[in-house]
Structure formats: structure tokens, C-alpha cells
Structure 1
Amino acid sequence: MKYANFEDVPVWKDGIKLTVKVFEATRDPSFRGQGDIANQIQRAALSVPNNIAEGFERGTTPELLQFLYYAKGSAGEVRSICHVIERISTFDHLKSQISDLRLLAKSISRQLGGWAFSLQESDIKGTRHLTAQSKASYQQKGKAEAFMEDLKRQQEERLEQLKRERGLE
């Protein structure tokens, strides 16, 4: 699916959700006096949607990929900090909330990995590189692939029909 704006991308929306939940969790008084852990997890969470947005706005596939991996790294950082917090007794009353954050960050990592993989398999270099000729070529390639899929489906249907007619099923 193509998105015109990063705000429409589901993983960006999940990144926003993660950031809000992290900021809400770190309001708990238990985070006071625990060094910089609240600030660190907040910055890591905030960098997830921000890196997605920045990469999206850059307009090239290589740059988008680079920023998706930055976002994926930040989601991993959130998960790692959650693992630490879960092991500190001061935060025992937040275990469920922290576990939810960790699981959401893991889901985001999977989504980003899937998106990055699909971009790596794409021959499109990004919107800044699309000329009228390359757009037409890309559309023609898509039409040719759709035609071949339809032809294959028709052949399989015809083969099944012949088998039924000849009693070979």
C-alpha cells in the first residue's frame, strides 16, 4: 500500500502510541531518583516516529531505509530499557505497564523490519527519482505482472476444467 503522508503509516501511528505511553509511564514518582532512565526511554521512544517521519520525507528509498533502521534501533533501545526496568524492584508496581511497552516496541520492530525488507526488494529508488518515464515504466511493469498472473490463473482453471471433462479427478 502506498501512503502520501507519514501520518497515514500504521507503524508511525504505533510509534506515536508508544511515545505517549512511555511519557505517561515515566510520570510515575518511582522514576524520580533513578538517574536518567526516564529521559533515556522517553528520547528513545520519541525517536521511533520521528525517524520514520524524517526518512519518509526525504523522498529516496535509500534514505528511508536508513531512517527505518534508526527507528528500529530506537525501538530496540526502548525494549532493552524495559527489560532493565522490569528487573528493578522499585518498579514492581509497573510491571504490567512496562511489559506492554516492551511488547508494543517489539511489534514496531517487526513492522519496521518488514517494511525495510520490502523496500530492499523494490527497484524504486524513491519519489524524488520518479520521472514521467520511470513512472510509466513502473506502471507498465505492474500491468505486465498482473497480466501474467491472470494468464496463469486462467491456464490453471482451464486445466482443471479439462481434467473434470475427461474424468481425471
Structure 2
Amino acid sequence: MATITEITDLKTWRLARELNQDVFKVILSNESIKDFALKDQINRSCGSVMDNIAEGFGRGGNKEFINFLGFSLGSLSEVESQLFRAIDRDYISNKDYELISDKVKNLRPMIISFSNYLRNSGFKGPKWKVEEPEGIYTKPKNQNPELKNQNLKPGTVNPHPKTLN
């Protein structure tokens, strides 16, 4: 299994990017489609598929990543619905519909499988790794020698409070 260090290492993100490129070629760059609301909506939802994968990856933890993969699935369903509207209105050909629809159908199980993998893996992401030096959490040594042996009881007031300059 390959180590994932960049968003471009993720197959799911790469396929989402291909989907985005195909939607642009087929629908967004088609000047004969005058339904600007549909073009805008499919552009935003298609972009949201890859953007949510990227944002989840950038969060650095499994729980948030899984959450963003869920958002990505929701956006993918929007793209699918918008494709039906495009074909129903004769904006795109059956061939173009199949091209994009096949990517949607391939991407959905990939996102679900990846989400399940993250949910069941022992790896929790760098967000929960603590690699700070242990010494920063230890109590500082008493720097004031005259207070060293006072043994104050809890609740008593220090007769020689340290003042800050």
C-alpha cells in the first residue's frame, strides 16, 4: 500500500478531478446550453466533490476526513441528478451522458470504500499524534530561593508573591 502524502496521491481525488474536467468539456464549455443556472449548479456540485475530498484530507484526522467524504458523496449525487436534467432537456448526447455517468458510478464506491477503510483503520491521522518534547509539560523548578522551603498549605496566601516587571 502506498503512503499518501499529497492530495494528488489519492485515487478518489484524481477521479473526481477527471469528472470535473469531463463536466467542463461536455457541459460548461458548451455555448449552445443557455441554462446558466444548471451550468452553474453542476459546476459547483462537481467542484464540491473534489474539493471536499481535498478539505477532508487537509484536516488531518480520520473523523473529519470521513465527514468530508460524506459531503463529497452528497455532491456526487447532486451531479448525477443534474446530469439527468441535462439529458432530459437534450443539452447533452447519450454518449456524453454515459461518459460522465460512468465516472460518477465508479467514483461513488471508491469514496464509500475509502471512507470505510478510514473508519476501520488504526491510523487516526497526524492531528492526534503528539510529538512535543515531554519537558514542556513538567513543572518549572522554583526560581526564587527564599520561597523554596516555605511549604505553604493549600488555600494559604503566599506572603512573598512574585511580582512581574
Q: TM-score, normalised by structure 1?
A: 0.71
Distance apart, 1:95 and its partner CA? 2.0
Alignment of 1:48-59 (within 5 A): 48-59=49-60
* Matching residue of 2:125: 126
Give the 3-state SS of the residue equivalent to 1:12 in structure 2. helix
* Matching residue of 1:18: 19
Aligned-pair RMSD on alpha carbons?
Answer: 1.5
Of 28, 31, 34 in structure 1, the residue corresponding to residue 30 of structure 2 is 28
- Confirm or deny: 8 A CA contact 1:76 1:106 kept in the other structure: no
Note the residue ranges of structure 1 that are not aligned, 5 or more in a row.
Answer: 133-169
- The CA distance in 2 between the partners of 1:64 and 1:19, in whole Å, is 21
Distance apart, 1:75 and its partner CA? 1.1
The number of equivalent residue pairs is 129
- Confirm or deny: 8 A CA contact 1:11 1:112 kept in the other structure: yes
* Matching residue of 1:82: 83
- The CA distance in 2 between the partners of 1:22 and 1:107, in whole Å, is 15
**Percent identity between the two aligned chains:** 26
* Matching residue of 2:152: none
Q: Which amino acid aligns with 2:77?
A: G
Radius of gyration: which is bigger? 2
Q: Which amino acid aligns with 1:124?
A: F
Does residue 117 of structure 1 match 2:119? Answer: no
- Confirm or deny: 8 A CA contact 1:61 1:119 kept in the other structure: yes
- The CA distance in 2 between the partners of 1:107 and 1:5, in whole Å, is 22
Q: TM-score, normalised by structure 2?
A: 0.72
Distance apart, 1:112 and its partner CA? 0.2
Query: Which has the larger helix fraction?
Result: 1
